Amino acid sequence: DGGITQSPKYLFRKEGQNVTLSCEQNLNHDAMYWYRQDPGQGLRLIYYSQIVNDFQKGDIAEGYSVSREKKESFPLTVTSAQKNPTAFYLCASSIDSRSPLHFGNGTRLTVT
Amino acid sequence: ILNVEQSPQSLHVQEGDSTNFTCSFPSSNFYALHWYRWETAKSPEALFVMTLNGDEKKKGRISATLNTKEGYSYLYIKGSQPEDSATYLCAAILYGQNFVFGPGTRLSVLP
């Protein structure tokens, strides 16, 4: 079955460490996205990529980095520069930048 | 940044009740509106994609309308069932911009 996979489901890190969240899709989608959810807020866009080897900052990119070396993969690195990294992170993909999003199950990151 | 609002924030209804909630967005440069359903422990799933003023979409007991001139969309659920319990998200897209999600409406349907 085609889908989008995020791993791990839960992640714990010490403050000051970088951590990378995995996102893989086998839907052959060109566009991929990373969102962050905080309580009481809508999903906020961190980074997006419309094609391999290209990506753009979203609304809250500071303290994050991404790569898009393969169509299937769009990993997100939460760096030590991110001031409030504890959150729920959702990865999504779509055929193009206007089509409905297909979401992964999310990764809950806790930094202490 | 485009601001998308949803109301109410949460809603409790009895099984069999019909209900509706609202998504508001800026009406200028509108391109599309998406509705998603997000059940607990699952990933959000797309319900509707709406682009034209006056659009009405329906999927089973759930329907949605779109008014792009005044900047709102309604989602209706007829005869709510416990399995309808979820958070309902809307996301608006303006020309030249990415999706912006509202905070969601959390629906609980009590048996």
SS3 of B10-72: EEEEECCCCEEEEEECCCCCEEEEEEEEECCCCCCEEEEEECCCCCEEEECCEEEEEECCCCE
A55-98 confidence digits (pLDDT tens): 999 999 999 999 999 999 999 999 988 889 999 999 999 998 77
Average pLDDT over residues A20-27: 96
Residues lower than pLDDT 70 in chain B:
1
Give the closest of B1, B46, B98 to A100, CB-based: B46
Assess contact for B107 and B15: CB atoms under 8 A.
Answer: no
Q: How far apart are CA A104 and CA A101, in angstroms?
A: 10
Query: A23, A35, A43: which to substitute to probe chain B, counting the most B Cβ within 10 Å?
Result: A43
pLDDT the model gives residue B1: 60
Q: How far apart are CA B12 and CA B22, in angstroms?
A: 15
b/e map of B10-25 (b: 16 or more CB within 10 Å)?
Answer: ebebeeeeebebebbb
Closest chain B residue by Cα to residue A96: B98
Please provide residue A101's backbone torsions phi and psi, each rounded to the nearest 5 degrees.
-85, 140
Q: Pick from B3, B62, B68, B54: which is nearest to B35 by CA?
A: B62
Q: How many CB pairs under 8 A join A and B?
A: 48
Average pLDDT over residues A43-49: 95
A67, burial (CB in 10 Å: exposed 0-12, middle 13-18, buried 19+): middle
Decide if A48 and B100 are in contact by the 8 Å CB cutoff: no
pLDDT the model gives residue B35: 97
Does residue A39 register a pLDDT over 90?
no
Give the closest of A41, A45, A104 to B43, CB-based: A104
pLDDT the model gives residue B41: 86
pLDDT the model gives residue A86: 95
CA angle B83–B36–B10, rounded 5-degree value: 65
Question: DSSP string spanning A4-33?
Answer: EEEE-SEEEE-TT--EEEEEEE-S--SEEE
Please provide residue B12's backbone torsions phi and psi, each rounded to the nearest 5 degrees.
-120, 125
Instruction: Note whether B17 contacts A: Cβ–Cβ < 8 A.
Output: no
Average pLDDT over residues A17-33: 95
Q: What are the residues of chain A with a beta carbon less than 8 Å away from any beta carbon of chain B?
A: 4, 33, 35, 40-45, 48, 58-59, 90, 97-106
